[in-house]
Structure 1
Protein backbone atom coordinates (compact mmCIF):
# COMPACT_ATOMS: atom_id res chain seq x y z
CA UNK A 1 0.00 0.00 0.00
CA UNK A 2 1.23 3.49 -0.85
CA UNK A 3 1.44 5.89 2.09
CA UNK A 4 0.99 9.65 2.34
CA UNK A 5 2.30 11.34 5.46
CA UNK A 6 0.21 14.48 5.82
CA UNK A 7 -1.49 16.91 8.17
CA UNK A 8 -5.22 17.60 7.66
CA UNK A 9 -4.99 21.41 7.45
CA UNK A 10 -1.76 21.50 5.48
CA UNK A 11 -2.70 23.00 2.09
CA UNK A 12 0.30 21.28 0.49
CA UNK A 13 -0.85 17.91 1.79
CA UNK A 14 -4.33 18.67 0.48
CA UNK A 15 -3.05 19.52 -2.98
CA UNK A 16 -1.36 16.11 -3.22
CA UNK A 17 -4.41 14.33 -1.81
CA UNK A 18 -6.59 15.94 -4.47
CA UNK A 19 -4.21 14.90 -7.24
CA UNK A 20 -4.03 11.33 -5.94
CA UNK A 21 -7.80 11.07 -5.58
CA UNK A 22 -8.48 12.59 -9.00
CA UNK A 23 -6.20 9.96 -10.52
CA UNK A 24 -7.93 7.28 -8.41
CA UNK A 25 -4.70 6.27 -6.67
CA UNK A 26 -5.29 4.75 -3.25
CA UNK A 27 -2.99 5.65 -0.39
CA UNK A 28 -2.95 5.09 3.33
CA UNK A 29 -3.12 8.46 5.08
CA UNK A 30 -0.83 8.81 8.07
CA UNK A 31 -1.27 12.01 10.07
CA UNK A 32 2.11 13.54 10.86
CA UNK A 33 2.70 16.22 13.49
CA UNK A 34 5.69 17.36 11.50
CA UNK A 35 6.61 20.26 13.81
CA UNK A 36 7.62 17.77 16.53
CA UNK A 37 10.70 16.92 14.43
CA UNK A 38 10.34 13.18 14.99
CA UNK A 39 13.52 11.31 14.03
CA UNK A 40 11.71 8.78 11.83
CA UNK A 41 9.91 11.52 9.94
CA UNK A 42 13.11 13.52 9.46
CA UNK A 43 14.62 10.44 7.82
CA UNK A 44 11.78 10.52 5.33
CA UNK A 45 12.16 14.24 4.71
CA UNK A 46 15.09 16.11 6.29
CA UNK A 47 13.24 19.36 5.53
CA UNK A 48 10.70 18.34 8.18
CA UNK A 49 7.68 19.20 6.06
CA UNK A 50 4.57 17.42 4.84
CA UNK A 51 3.49 15.89 2.56
CA UNK A 52 5.73 12.89 2.06
CA UNK A 53 4.64 10.13 -0.32
CA UNK A 54 5.91 6.55 -0.20
CA UNK A 55 5.24 4.89 -3.54
CA UNK A 56 6.97 2.17 -5.55
CA UNK A 57 9.52 1.72 -2.79
CA UNK A 58 10.57 5.36 -2.97
CA UNK A 59 10.05 8.19 -0.51
CA UNK A 60 9.20 11.54 -2.10
CA UNK A 61 8.84 15.02 -0.61
CA UNK A 62 7.71 18.49 -1.78
CA UNK A 63 4.12 18.81 -2.94
CA UNK A 64 4.91 20.26 -6.36
CA UNK A 65 7.56 17.64 -7.12
CA UNK A 66 5.14 14.91 -6.01
CA UNK A 67 2.34 16.27 -8.22
CA UNK A 68 4.70 16.50 -11.20
CA UNK A 69 5.80 12.90 -10.57
CA UNK A 70 2.18 11.72 -10.42
CA UNK A 71 1.40 13.58 -13.64
CA UNK A 72 4.28 11.90 -15.47
CA UNK A 73 3.69 8.41 -14.09
CA UNK A 74 -0.12 8.49 -14.23
CA UNK A 75 -0.96 10.89 -17.08
CA UNK A 76 -4.70 10.09 -17.12
CA UNK A 77 -6.67 12.10 -16.23
CA UNK A 78 -4.32 14.91 -17.14
CA UNK A 79 -3.89 17.69 -14.58
CA UNK A 80 -1.52 19.74 -16.72
CA UNK A 81 -2.39 20.90 -20.25
CA UNK A 82 -0.52 19.52 -23.27
CA UNK A 83 -0.04 22.97 -24.81
CA UNK A 84 3.25 24.48 -23.58
CA UNK A 85 1.78 27.96 -22.99
CA UNK A 86 -1.19 26.63 -21.04
CA UNK A 87 1.11 24.28 -19.13
CA UNK A 88 3.19 27.29 -18.14
CA UNK A 89 0.09 29.17 -16.98
CA UNK A 90 -1.03 26.25 -14.80
CA UNK A 91 2.43 25.99 -13.24
CA UNK A 92 2.59 29.75 -12.73
CA UNK A 93 -0.65 29.68 -10.78
CA UNK A 94 0.41 26.66 -8.73
CA UNK A 95 3.42 28.76 -7.72
CA UNK A 96 1.17 31.75 -6.99
CA UNK A 97 -1.04 29.83 -4.56
CA UNK A 98 1.74 27.73 -3.00
CA UNK A 99 3.93 30.77 -2.39
CA UNK A 100 2.23 34.18 -2.53
CA UNK A 101 -1.25 33.14 -1.40
CA UNK A 102 0.08 30.84 1.33
CA UNK A 103 2.42 33.41 2.86
CA UNK A 104 0.04 36.37 2.55
CA UNK A 105 -3.18 34.62 3.56
CA UNK A 106 -3.18 31.01 4.77
CA UNK A 107 -0.14 31.31 7.02
CA UNK A 108 -1.56 34.47 8.59
CA UNK A 109 -5.09 33.13 9.13
CA UNK A 110 -5.01 29.33 9.49
CA UNK A 111 -1.49 29.59 10.85
CA UNK A 112 -2.52 31.99 13.59
CA UNK A 113 -6.01 30.70 14.36
CA UNK A 114 -5.25 26.96 14.31
CA UNK A 115 -1.56 26.09 14.19
CA UNK A 116 -0.45 28.32 17.06
CA UNK A 117 -2.77 26.39 19.39
CA UNK A 118 -2.03 22.99 17.87
CA UNK A 119 1.72 23.57 18.06
CA UNK A 120 1.53 25.22 21.47
CA UNK A 121 3.25 28.42 20.37
CA UNK A 122 0.93 30.90 22.04
CA UNK A 123 -2.03 33.05 21.08
CA UNK A 124 -2.89 34.37 17.61
CA UNK A 125 -1.06 37.51 16.53
CA UNK A 126 -3.85 39.98 15.72
CA UNK A 127 -1.60 41.93 13.36
CA UNK A 128 -1.07 38.84 11.21
CA UNK A 129 -4.77 37.97 11.31
CA UNK A 130 -5.72 41.47 10.14
CA UNK A 131 -3.11 41.35 7.37
CA UNK A 132 -4.38 37.97 6.19
CA UNK A 133 -8.02 39.13 6.24
CA UNK A 134 -7.05 42.11 4.10
CA UNK A 135 -4.86 40.14 1.68
CA UNK A 136 -7.48 37.49 0.93
CA UNK A 137 -9.71 40.16 -0.63
CA UNK A 138 -7.00 40.97 -3.17
CA UNK A 139 -6.54 37.28 -3.99
CA UNK A 140 -10.27 36.63 -4.37
CA UNK A 141 -10.47 39.64 -6.70
CA UNK A 142 -7.61 38.22 -8.78
CA UNK A 143 -9.32 34.83 -8.97
CA UNK A 144 -12.53 36.51 -10.09
CA UNK A 145 -10.63 38.31 -12.82
CA UNK A 146 -9.22 35.00 -14.08
CA UNK A 147 -12.56 33.20 -13.87
CA UNK A 148 -14.37 35.96 -15.72
CA UNK A 149 -12.25 35.01 -18.75
CA UNK A 150 -11.88 31.24 -18.27
CA UNK A 151 -13.86 28.20 -17.15
CA UNK A 152 -11.12 27.21 -14.72
CA UNK A 153 -8.23 29.18 -13.24
CA UNK A 154 -5.61 28.34 -15.86
CA UNK A 155 -7.89 27.90 -18.87
CA UNK A 156 -10.85 25.88 -20.06
CA UNK A 157 -9.78 22.67 -18.35
CA UNK A 158 -9.30 21.88 -14.67
CA UNK A 159 -5.62 21.66 -13.74
CA UNK A 160 -3.29 21.44 -10.77
CA UNK A 161 -3.72 25.21 -10.48
CA UNK A 162 -7.31 24.65 -9.38
CA UNK A 163 -6.22 22.03 -6.85
CA UNK A 164 -3.49 24.33 -5.48
CA UNK A 165 -6.03 27.12 -5.01
CA UNK A 166 -8.74 24.85 -3.60
CA UNK A 167 -6.27 23.32 -1.14
CA UNK A 168 -5.50 26.76 0.31
CA UNK A 169 -9.10 27.96 0.33
CA UNK A 170 -10.44 24.75 1.89
CA UNK A 171 -8.13 25.25 4.88
CA UNK A 172 -9.42 28.80 5.25
CA UNK A 173 -13.02 27.69 4.78
CA UNK A 174 -12.60 25.25 7.68
CA UNK A 175 -12.43 28.28 9.98
CA UNK A 176 -14.91 30.33 7.93
CA UNK A 177 -12.27 32.79 6.74
CA UNK A 178 -13.51 33.09 3.14
CA UNK A 179 -16.15 35.63 2.11
CA UNK A 180 -17.89 33.58 -0.57
CA UNK A 181 -20.28 36.46 -1.27
CA UNK A 182 -17.48 38.70 -2.54
CA UNK A 183 -17.51 37.14 -6.02
CA UNK A 184 -20.21 34.78 -7.29
CA UNK A 185 -17.87 33.43 -9.97
CA UNK A 186 -15.34 32.33 -7.33
CA UNK A 187 -18.06 30.73 -5.22
CA UNK A 188 -19.37 28.85 -8.28
CA UNK A 189 -15.84 27.66 -9.11
CA UNK A 190 -15.32 26.39 -5.56
CA UNK A 191 -18.71 24.68 -5.56
CA UNK A 192 -17.73 22.83 -8.75
CA UNK A 193 -14.42 21.62 -7.42
CA UNK A 194 -15.80 20.92 -3.94
CA UNK A 195 -18.41 18.61 -5.49
CA UNK A 196 -15.82 16.36 -7.14
CA UNK A 197 -15.35 12.89 -5.61
CA UNK A 198 -11.67 13.76 -5.07
CA UNK A 199 -12.74 16.33 -2.47
CA UNK A 200 -14.69 13.96 -0.22
CA UNK A 201 -11.91 12.96 2.15
CA UNK A 202 -10.96 16.63 2.70
CA UNK A 203 -14.51 17.45 3.75
CA UNK A 204 -14.37 14.68 6.36
CA UNK A 205 -11.24 16.09 8.03
CA UNK A 206 -11.45 17.34 11.58
CA UNK A 207 -8.77 18.87 13.78
CA UNK A 208 -9.23 18.17 17.52
CA UNK A 209 -10.23 21.33 19.33
CA UNK A 210 -11.47 23.02 16.16
CA UNK A 211 -14.90 22.33 14.76
CA UNK A 212 -15.23 23.05 11.03
CA UNK A 213 -17.51 25.87 9.91
CA UNK A 214 -21.14 24.80 9.65
CA UNK A 215 -21.13 25.07 5.85
CA UNK A 216 -17.71 23.44 5.42
CA UNK A 217 -18.91 20.06 4.11
CA UNK A 218 -22.09 21.42 2.52
CA UNK A 219 -21.94 21.03 -1.25
CA UNK A 220 -24.75 23.52 -1.71
CA UNK A 221 -23.32 26.28 0.48
Structure 2
Protein backbone atom coordinates (compact mmCIF):
# COMPACT_ATOMS: atom_id res chain seq x y z
CA UNK A 1 0.00 0.00 0.00
CA UNK A 2 1.50 3.33 -1.09
CA UNK A 3 0.71 6.79 0.29
CA UNK A 4 1.87 9.66 -1.90
CA UNK A 5 2.80 12.94 -0.28
CA UNK A 6 5.14 14.73 2.09
CA UNK A 7 4.67 14.41 5.84
CA UNK A 8 5.35 18.13 6.16
CA UNK A 9 1.74 18.35 5.01
CA UNK A 10 -0.51 18.00 8.07
CA UNK A 11 -2.92 15.97 5.93
CA UNK A 12 -0.26 13.43 4.97
CA UNK A 13 1.05 13.33 8.55
CA UNK A 14 -2.49 12.65 9.77
CA UNK A 15 -2.85 9.72 7.40
CA UNK A 16 0.55 8.31 8.34
CA UNK A 17 -0.34 8.56 12.04
CA UNK A 18 -3.69 6.83 11.52
CA UNK A 19 -1.94 4.04 9.65
CA UNK A 20 0.51 3.75 12.54
CA UNK A 21 -2.25 3.55 15.13
CA UNK A 22 -4.02 0.87 13.11
CA UNK A 23 -0.88 -1.10 12.30
CA UNK A 24 -1.34 -0.66 8.56
CA UNK A 25 1.78 -1.38 6.53
CA UNK A 26 2.45 1.70 4.44
CA UNK A 27 5.09 2.87 1.99
CA UNK A 28 5.25 6.66 1.86
CA UNK A 29 6.40 7.93 -1.53
CA UNK A 30 7.49 11.56 -1.38
CA UNK A 31 5.81 13.88 -3.86
CA UNK A 32 5.03 17.58 -3.82
CA UNK A 33 1.85 19.48 -4.56
CA UNK A 34 1.06 19.22 -8.25
CA UNK A 35 3.83 16.67 -8.81
CA UNK A 36 3.53 15.25 -12.36
CA UNK A 37 4.42 11.70 -11.24
CA UNK A 38 1.96 9.57 -13.27
CA UNK A 39 1.22 7.11 -10.46
CA UNK A 40 0.49 9.98 -8.07
CA UNK A 41 -1.74 11.78 -10.56
CA UNK A 42 -3.64 8.59 -11.26
CA UNK A 43 -4.59 8.51 -7.58
CA UNK A 44 -4.97 12.29 -7.24
CA UNK A 45 -6.09 13.85 -10.54
CA UNK A 46 -5.83 17.39 -9.18
CA UNK A 47 -2.41 16.90 -7.59
CA UNK A 48 -3.55 17.22 -3.98
CA UNK A 49 -1.91 15.11 -1.31
CA UNK A 50 -2.12 12.62 0.22
CA UNK A 51 -3.16 10.04 -2.32
CA UNK A 52 -3.41 6.30 -1.85
CA UNK A 53 -2.71 3.28 -4.02
CA UNK A 54 -3.99 0.04 -2.51
CA UNK A 55 -3.61 -2.64 -5.17
CA UNK A 56 -5.82 -1.46 -8.02
CA UNK A 57 -7.70 0.98 -5.80
CA UNK A 58 -6.89 4.70 -5.91
CA UNK A 59 -8.10 7.44 -3.58
CA UNK A 60 -7.18 11.02 -2.69
CA UNK A 61 -7.86 13.23 0.37
CA UNK A 62 -6.79 12.42 3.92
CA UNK A 63 -10.28 12.13 5.38
CA UNK A 64 -11.49 9.91 2.54
CA UNK A 65 -8.43 7.69 2.99
CA UNK A 66 -8.95 7.48 6.76
CA UNK A 67 -12.61 6.50 6.35
CA UNK A 68 -11.60 3.88 3.77
CA UNK A 69 -9.09 2.42 6.23
CA UNK A 70 -11.62 2.50 9.05
CA UNK A 71 -13.97 0.34 6.99
CA UNK A 72 -11.24 -1.99 5.77
CA UNK A 73 -9.32 -2.23 9.06
CA UNK A 74 -11.96 -1.68 11.75
CA UNK A 75 -9.70 -2.47 14.72
CA UNK A 76 -8.66 -0.53 16.62
CA UNK A 77 -11.60 1.75 15.91
CA UNK A 78 -10.71 5.42 15.50
CA UNK A 79 -14.18 6.53 14.39
CA UNK A 80 -16.85 5.61 16.97
CA UNK A 81 -20.08 3.88 16.04
CA UNK A 82 -22.11 5.91 18.55
CA UNK A 83 -23.89 8.64 16.56
CA UNK A 84 -23.07 11.53 18.90
CA UNK A 85 -19.44 10.49 19.34
CA UNK A 86 -19.04 9.98 15.61
CA UNK A 87 -20.46 13.40 14.93
CA UNK A 88 -17.96 14.96 17.33
CA UNK A 89 -15.05 13.11 15.74
CA UNK A 90 -16.07 14.26 12.27
CA UNK A 91 -16.38 17.83 13.62
CA UNK A 92 -12.86 17.83 15.06
CA UNK A 93 -11.47 16.35 11.86
CA UNK A 94 -13.13 19.16 9.91
CA UNK A 95 -12.03 21.79 12.45
CA UNK A 96 -8.44 20.60 12.13
CA UNK A 97 -8.44 20.28 8.33
CA UNK A 98 -9.96 23.70 7.70
CA UNK A 99 -9.64 26.21 10.54
CA UNK A 100 -6.49 24.94 12.24
CA UNK A 101 -4.62 23.96 9.08
CA UNK A 102 -5.70 27.18 7.39
CA UNK A 103 -4.23 29.25 10.19
CA UNK A 104 -1.09 27.18 10.71
CA UNK A 105 -0.53 27.04 6.98
CA UNK A 106 -0.09 30.81 6.75
CA UNK A 107 2.76 30.61 9.23
CA UNK A 108 4.31 27.39 7.99
CA UNK A 109 4.17 28.30 4.30
CA UNK A 110 5.55 31.81 4.65
CA UNK A 111 8.18 31.06 7.29
CA UNK A 112 9.29 27.60 6.13
CA UNK A 113 7.99 26.42 2.75
CA UNK A 114 8.62 29.60 0.77
CA UNK A 115 12.22 30.22 1.93
CA UNK A 116 13.34 26.59 2.38
CA UNK A 117 11.59 24.75 -0.43
CA UNK A 118 10.63 27.42 -2.97
CA UNK A 119 13.71 29.61 -2.44
CA UNK A 120 11.75 32.82 -2.26
CA UNK A 121 10.62 35.23 0.42
CA UNK A 122 7.43 34.45 2.28
CA UNK A 123 4.84 36.98 3.38
CA UNK A 124 6.02 37.34 6.96
CA UNK A 125 3.45 40.02 7.72
CA UNK A 126 0.69 37.57 6.83
CA UNK A 127 2.29 34.88 8.99
CA UNK A 128 2.65 37.26 11.93
CA UNK A 129 -0.94 38.43 11.60
CA UNK A 130 -2.20 34.84 11.61
CA UNK A 131 -0.21 34.07 14.77
CA UNK A 132 -1.39 37.25 16.46
CA UNK A 133 -5.04 37.38 15.40
CA UNK A 134 -6.23 33.98 14.13
CA UNK A 135 -4.43 31.46 16.29
CA UNK A 136 -5.44 32.56 19.82
CA UNK A 137 -9.20 31.96 19.33
CA UNK A 138 -8.48 28.47 17.97
CA UNK A 139 -6.22 27.61 20.90
CA UNK A 140 -8.73 29.16 23.32
CA UNK A 141 -11.37 26.82 21.92
CA UNK A 142 -9.15 23.76 22.23
CA UNK A 143 -8.20 24.71 25.78
CA UNK A 144 -11.90 24.70 26.66
CA UNK A 145 -12.76 21.37 25.06
CA UNK A 146 -9.72 19.19 25.75
CA UNK A 147 -10.35 17.24 28.97
CA UNK A 148 -7.44 17.40 31.40
CA UNK A 149 -5.17 14.50 30.54
CA UNK A 150 -7.85 13.00 28.32
CA UNK A 151 -9.07 12.58 24.77
CA UNK A 152 -11.17 14.89 22.65
CA UNK A 153 -14.02 12.39 22.23
CA UNK A 154 -14.83 9.63 24.70
CA UNK A 155 -12.34 7.75 26.82
CA UNK A 156 -9.90 6.64 24.12
CA UNK A 157 -7.90 7.78 21.12
CA UNK A 158 -9.92 8.68 18.03
CA UNK A 159 -9.38 10.33 14.67
CA UNK A 160 -10.26 13.59 16.42
CA UNK A 161 -7.05 13.49 18.45
CA UNK A 162 -4.87 12.56 15.47
CA UNK A 163 -6.42 15.22 13.23
CA UNK A 164 -5.97 18.03 15.75
CA UNK A 165 -2.46 16.95 16.77
CA UNK A 166 -1.11 16.97 13.22
CA UNK A 167 -1.28 20.71 12.37
CA UNK A 168 0.09 21.53 15.84
CA UNK A 169 3.36 20.04 14.55
CA UNK A 170 3.44 22.63 11.77
CA UNK A 171 3.05 25.40 14.31
CA UNK A 172 6.20 24.18 16.02
CA UNK A 173 8.06 23.99 12.71
CA UNK A 174 7.02 27.60 12.07
CA UNK A 175 8.51 28.76 15.36
CA UNK A 176 5.25 29.12 17.27
CA UNK A 177 5.57 28.38 20.98
CA UNK A 178 2.27 27.59 22.67
CA UNK A 179 2.27 29.22 26.11
CA UNK A 180 1.86 26.41 28.67
CA UNK A 181 0.65 28.88 31.29
CA UNK A 182 -2.20 30.09 29.08
CA UNK A 183 -2.82 26.76 27.34
CA UNK A 184 -1.86 23.96 29.76
CA UNK A 185 -4.30 21.43 28.32
CA UNK A 186 -3.34 22.14 24.72
CA UNK A 187 0.34 21.88 25.64
CA UNK A 188 -0.15 18.58 27.48
CA UNK A 189 -2.30 17.19 24.66
CA UNK A 190 0.29 18.07 22.04
CA UNK A 191 3.13 16.56 24.06
CA UNK A 192 1.21 13.33 24.66
CA UNK A 193 0.12 12.95 21.05
CA UNK A 194 3.45 13.86 19.50
CA UNK A 195 5.26 11.36 21.73
CA UNK A 196 3.17 8.47 20.42
CA UNK A 197 4.95 6.00 18.10
CA UNK A 198 2.55 6.99 15.32
CA UNK A 199 3.86 10.59 15.41
CA UNK A 200 7.29 10.70 17.04
CA UNK A 201 9.48 9.21 14.26
CA UNK A 202 7.85 11.38 11.60
CA UNK A 203 8.29 14.54 13.66
CA UNK A 204 11.91 13.67 14.40
CA UNK A 205 12.67 13.24 10.68
CA UNK A 206 11.01 16.54 9.84
CA UNK A 207 12.89 18.40 12.56
CA UNK A 208 16.15 16.80 11.44
CA UNK A 209 15.57 17.95 7.87
CA UNK A 210 14.75 21.50 8.92
CA UNK A 211 17.83 21.64 11.16
CA UNK A 212 20.18 21.02 8.23
Per the alignment, residue 185 of structure 2 pairs with: 185
- Is residue 53 of structure 2 the alignment partner of residue 50 of structure 1? no
Aligned-residue RMSD, C-alpha: 2.2
Q: In structure 2, how many angstroms separate the alpha carbons of the residues matched to 1:121 and 1:37?
A: 20
Q: Deviations over 1:103-160 (max 9, x none)?
A: 1x12211111122134527311123112221222211111110014782123332211
Per the alignment, residue 60 of structure 2 pairs with: 61
Pairwise CA distance, 1:10: 0.2
Q: How does 1:151-170 map to 2 (within 5 A)?
A: 151-170=150-169
2:130 corresponds, among 132, 135, 155, to 132
Aligned length: 210
Pairwise CA distance, 1:14: 0.5
Q: Deviations over 1:149-203 (max 9, x none)?
A: 7821233322111111111001221233131423111111122212222113312
Q: In structure 2, how many angstroms separate the alpha carbons of the residues matched to 1:180 and 1:54?
A: 40
**TM-score normalised by length of structure 1:** 0.86
**TM-score normalised by length of structure 2:** 0.89
Unaligned runs of 5+ in 2: none
Name which of structure 1's ranges 91-100 and 203-212 shifts more when overlaid on structure 2.
203-212
Q: In structure 1, how many angstroms separate the alpha carbons of the residues matched to 2:105 and 2:37?
A: 22
Q: How does 1:58-97 map to 2 (within 5 A)?
A: 58-97=57-96
Q: Find the residue that maps to 2:172 and give its secondary structure.
A: helix
Q: In structure 2, how many angstroms separate the alpha carbons of the residues matched to 1:166 and 1:9?
A: 13
Per the alignment, residue 210 of structure 2 pairs with: 210
Cα pair 1:54 1:60 within 8 Å, conserved: yes
1:113 corresponds, among 111, 114, 117, to 111
